[in-house]
Amino acid sequence: ADTKIYQASTTAPVNIAVVKYWGKRDPKLNLPTNSSVSVTLSQSDLRTHTTAACSSSFPQSDTLLLNSENQDTSGARTQACFRELRFLRSSIEAADPFLPKLSALPLKIVSENNFPTAAGLASSAAGFAALVRAIANLYELPASPTELSRIARQGSGSACRSLFGGYVAWQMGTKTDGSDSLAVEVAPASHWPTMRALILVVSAEKKGVSSTSGMQITVATSELFQRRAEVVVPKHMAEMEEAIRNKDFEKFGQVTMKESNSFHAVCLDTFPPIFYLNDVSKAAIRVVEDINKKAGKTIAAYTFDAGPNAVIYYEEENIAVVAGVVKGALGHLDGWESRDISAQEAGDLDS
Ligand code: PMV
């Protein structure tokens, strides 16, 4: 019998949304209530590296090791990814009798985040994107990043946007089976080589309310939410895609900040309310406002996900002002650390 070990590796980057995904219309398939846009932080230390292997010599059940720790693979999200990828593999095996029957073999997945997990960054996006592409490579699937995004989305919604580098839109889609809820490239990172991001690690603690349960309570209780999904986000989507196409930082920055504020307003309007921002987060907002006021235009933009850590976008030419002022104003605070994230490299997603 064939006891050979088949394997393939890949990496996927962390992405930070500038138009936020918040709300599921189908929690099982991770179908969102609105479209979203992200910027991929393509610096090499903010990636998940994943190796997928399969062999008849492995123990019968699938295993997943993340940062050397065994993870439960029985969860519905992980199972959905495995099932979809095995189905695609079995279709090509059915068409070519000479292909080894990898779809029937147990999988062994080994993942490492090469950024500190303690940075409190959403690692599930990079994690599921890398897991899906590593298995797709192992199975030699002829699938495009957009096709793989449909599968990664089922692991973690935001993961679908980590299949591309640069500027990525997740189109919400309208179908109930999720076949049109996919990520597409808006522009490669090389389109806007002066874009930079700074991460303020305000707290490395795990977030209080998970995105999954937070979204559920918001959808069920917030009245502001409906207006956001139906009116605010569609407007921001159009403005953001245009700002990216035109490399218009002022517009990009203003929409990014308004989006973050709209998302956190909806969290506050959730009942009981969800607070992701803390006092250091709010101080960071003030600092960015001061920088922009002094510059007489928007040269820095903050955004916050489901936690207190800030990501501040700016352009290379303003590095001294932005990074200098932020550090000067906040550097003394406890539990605070900044990281420079270059977003300039091209969408160098190796396969
Ligand atoms: O993909 P999830 O379930 O981790 O949700 C991510 C939600 C936000 O980070 C707050 C927004 C986004 O679009 O990434």
**What ipTM was reported for this prediction?**
0.99
Ligand 1 pocket: which of 15, 48, 305, 309 to mutate (most atoms <8 Å of CB)?
Answer: 305
Question: Can you list the domains of the chain with their CATH numbers?
Answer: 6-191 (3.30.230.10), 195-342 (3.30.70.890)
Check if 30 has its Cβ closer than 6 Å to any atom of ligand 1.
no
Q: Return the SS3 of 313.
A: strand
Q: pLDDT value at position 351?
A: 30
Dist. CA 315–CA 19, nearest whole Å? 19
Residue 259 has pLDDT above 70, yes or no: yes
Check if 113 has its Cβ closer than 6 Å to any atom of ligand 1.
no
Q: pLDDT value at position 345?
A: 46
Q: Which region among 123-127, 157-161, 163-167, 243-247 has the lowest average model confidence (pLDDT)? A: 123-127
Q: Which atom of ligand 1 is nearest to the CA of 19?
A: 13
Dist. CA 203–CA 284, nearest whole Å? 13
Q: For the stretch 262-280, what's the b/e string if a residue is b when 16 or more beta carbons lie within 10 angstroms of its beta carbon? A: bbbebbebbeeebebbeeb
Q: Return the SS3 of 267.
A: helix
Question: pLDDT tens, 123-151?
Answer: 789 999 999 999 999 999 999 999 999 99
Check if 215 has its Cβ closer than 6 Å to any atom of ligand 1.
no
Question: pLDDT tens, 63-93?
Answer: 999 999 999 999 999 999 999 999 999 999 9
What six digits make up the tokens of 254? Answer: 């203003």
Q: What is the rounded average pLDDT of the residues 161-178?
A: 97
Q: Which region among 25-34, 96-105, 211-220, 330-339 has the lowest average model confidence (pLDDT)? A: 330-339
Dist. CA 146–CA 152, nearest whole Å? 10
Question: Would you list the DSSP string of 122-161?
Answer: --HHHHHHHHHHHHHHHTT----HHHHHHHHHHH-GGGGG
Q: How far is CA 165 from CA 38, 125, 146, 224, 301, in A?
A: 10, 13, 12, 32, 20
